[in-house]
A = this chain, B = another copy of it.
Amino acid sequence: MSTDLTPMLAPEGVVVIGASRQSGKLGAAMARSLATFPGARALVNARRPEPDEGVYASVAEAAAHTDGRLDLAVLCVPAAGCAQALAEAAAAGCRAALVCAGGFGEAGPEGEQYAEALRRVAQETGIRLLGPNTSGFFAPHLGLTASFVPAAGQLPAGDIAVVAASGGVNHALSFDLVAAGNGISVGVGIGAGLDVTAADVLEHLAGDGRTTAVALHLETVPDGPRLVEAVRLVASVKPVVALVVGRSDVGDFARSHTGALATSWRTTRAALRQAGAVVVDDERETVDALTALSRVRLRPHADPGLAIVTAQAGPGLLLADRAGSDGVRMPELAETTQRTLSELLPPLTYQRNPVDTGRPAETFGRVLAATAADPAVDLLAVYALTEPDSVDLASAAQDAGLGADSPAVVVVGGLPEDVAEQRARLHKAGIPALTGPASAANAVRALVTHARQRTVRAVGPQQETAAAVPSGLLDEDAAKTFLASLGIRTPDRVACDTRADAHYALRLLDGPVAVKVLDAAILHKTEIGGVHLGVRTPDELDAALDAIGPGHRYLVEAMAPAGVDLVLGVRRDPVFGPVVLAGLGGTAAEALADVAIRLAPLSAAEAAGMPDDLAARALLDGWRGGPVLDRAEFGRVVSALAASLAASPGTAEIEINPLRLTADGLIALDAVIVHTADRT
């Protein structure tokens, strides 16, 4: 099987098998869509061959008449006939095929047989297969529309690629991107993904010089690590903006369309983010992000500074408000910048950031240039309503040198035709034009996210030396001893075989202690009365031991100081493999599913960013005079734990709950280690 998708996405010739003249039929729509393709072209209709008009009785005959240049076969035959048609196409020299029809895997046992037959032909012949169950793909710069939506043939060529799980979304996103003033390099709907998956197309796009940015839409993920690798590959050279379905329980319908979701929406998003994709929430944000990222990028920066220049205070305030709630930093401008601005603007305008110019005057371009040049400014956002009597926004933005070397997003408000005219000129100059404060805020968020993510990647994976988890059942003491070996702090403690040992431990530890039942077989100690906190006196200790009852070992442990409880776990995701999950303790955080997820192993630097994913992160930053989490320490703990899971094939899960943040740093108060064998 060839990994090169060029014969599919940039073929020399195309043959439609099952072409039809009957309007409304798939074979007719396909023939029409492909009619404009300037390369070699042939139609096959076994029943009505008309060789004079390029309709042949077989693909072999068609190939013979086109010097074998037919790389791509588009199959418009029913599911039952696809495997044979594919075999014939492969035999005739086609190296790629598209199957749009449904009636395969989603259609019960018979359909599954057809799918299996297709898969077998692909494997045996090495022909690459897109589909089934997709509306196809298009490559406008080649005049190639292998889609049964003929309007796709009118999509302008450009530099954004679309890779969508669904053919419908491939088209919808492409149309939306075009409506926002962009062009398409290639748009692919994966469909059932019997052979070619999103990962394959991404790998192809990494080396595609026409494509400067990629939209990725995902429903299920058949192969997590492969997808992550492909995204990482592309994201290292061009931005990938990813939209993942499945925030809510989309139930039956999703299963009917996409198959079972083996992993979670959150995990998939976390994996994509970690691989370098900019993960977005809906298709509008996808379009806004790509409108910006296909034209400008910020240099890698942990916290880029945004400046806003607005000709109308109200819309500028909407943008500043959204950027603020997105956590985008808006630095105050330098004094020198403010001095320059004060010379360019009327006295009553606000000039610190946002810069409110009032009605734009001929100085507008210089205001933009001065603000963009401020040393604290990494990105400029500009808002203005088009006003014929005032300045020409597109010219001002160009005069200011905005674009690739001075990243900016520009919003033009006004009548649709005025906006379209300005937008076209801005885009021609390489300056992304957006349609309002919300879309500009989406673009800003995407650019800032992209800059931040590359800082983390720039640090590079510094995998900790991995200590493998000891085999066998581990009780709390053994689990903590293992954690301590990873450099994770645990409380002073004594594992006790007898009551006398426990009394000795009480004296030894000097101060209130926790007394717990010590038994690897008991996972929920608290629920069975196996945990007693704040034990100070021998009498209290006896009472606690009585409550635990005879026939157990005990753990007597120094009490930790008060603090903020976290939960930290590493486990194996069925799709993505080892993952780390971190959240705050307590039911509210749990009910809100406020959790940060990363694929393991990961560097301490990567892991250090996890707490900032949490909605309730304020609790970790000195909430009400409490302790502040040292991100580097947290990163080391996570990285060590993640590496140890990766190094321990027999371990299913390690959970530290709680991992307490105290004034003295992090300390693991309880830990459970589950081996894969224990699960069954």
Contacts and interface: CB of A to CB of B under 8 A. Distances in A.
A348 B591 contact: no
Contact of A175 (B321, B413, B564, B592): B413
B322 A438 contact: no
Interface string A164-191: 1111111110011011000000000100
A157 interface: no
A254 interface: yes
Contact of A283 (B245, B310, B436): B436
Task: Count chain B CB atoms within 10 A of each CB in A135, A258, A587 and give the residue with the most.
Answer: A587
A399 B569 CA distance: 56
Contacts of A435: 176, 179
A149 B385 contact: yes
Contact of A179 (B284, B317, B416, B594): B416
Given A257-B350, A586-B586, 5 more contacts: A167-B312, A169-B312, A172-B315, A175-B414, A591-B617
Nearest to A249: B324
Contact of A356 (B257, B356, B589): B257
A247 interface: yes
B24 A282 contact: no
A623 interface: yes
A563 to B, nearest CB: 11
A358 to B, nearest CB: 7
A439 interface: yes
A312 B588 contact: no
Given A314-B169, A314-B217, A619-B591, A151 B386 contact: yes
Nearest to A347: B107
A313 interface: yes
B623 A587 contact: yes
A584 interface: yes
A167 B253 CA distance: 46
Contacts of A151: 385-388, 414-415, 418
Nearest to A324: B248
Interface of A: 23-24, 28-29, 102-103, 106-107, 135, 148-151, 154-155, 164-172, 175-176, 178-179, 189, 217, 219, 243, 245-250, 252-254, 256-258, 282-285, 310-318, 320-325, 348, 350, 352-354, 356, 358-359, 385-390, 413-416, 418-419, 435-439, 441, 564, 584, 586-589, 591-592, 594, 615-619, 623-624
A537 to B, nearest CB: 12
Contact of A103 (B252, B311, B348): B348
7 contacts: A166-B312, A170-B314, A172-B314, A253-B350, A282-B438, A586-B586, A592-B616
Given A315-B172, A588-B588, A592-B616, A250 B321 contact: yes
Contacts of A311: 168
A253 B172 contact: no
Nearest to A243: B318
Contacts of A154: 415
Contacts of A135: 312
Give the top 7 A-B pairs by smallest Cβ distance, nearest first.
A166-B314, A168-B312, A248-B324, A169-B314, A282-B438, A248-B325, A168-B314
Contacts of A179: 416, 419, 435
Given A103-B348, A312-B172, A592-B592, A250 B317 contact: yes
A546 to B, nearest CB: 15
B314 A176 contact: no
Contacts of A168: 310-316, 385, 413
Nearest to A624: B587
Contact of A107 (B313, B348, B387, B438): B348
Contact of A415 (B24, B178, B249): B178
A164 B135 CA distance: 44
Contacts of A170: 314
Contacts of A257: 313-314, 317, 350, 356
Given A321-B248, A592-B592, A385 B348 contact: no
A438 B284 CA distance: 7
B385 A172 contact: yes
A253 B356 contact: yes
Contact of A253 (B245, B354, B615, B619): B354
Contacts of A386: 151
Contacts of A321: 245-248, 250, 254
A441 B247 CA distance: 14
Among A28, A150, A615, A617, the most chain B Cβ lie within 10 Å of the Cβ of: A615
B166 A284 contact: no
A614 to B, nearest CB: 9
A282 B435 CA distance: 13
A310 B257 CA distance: 12
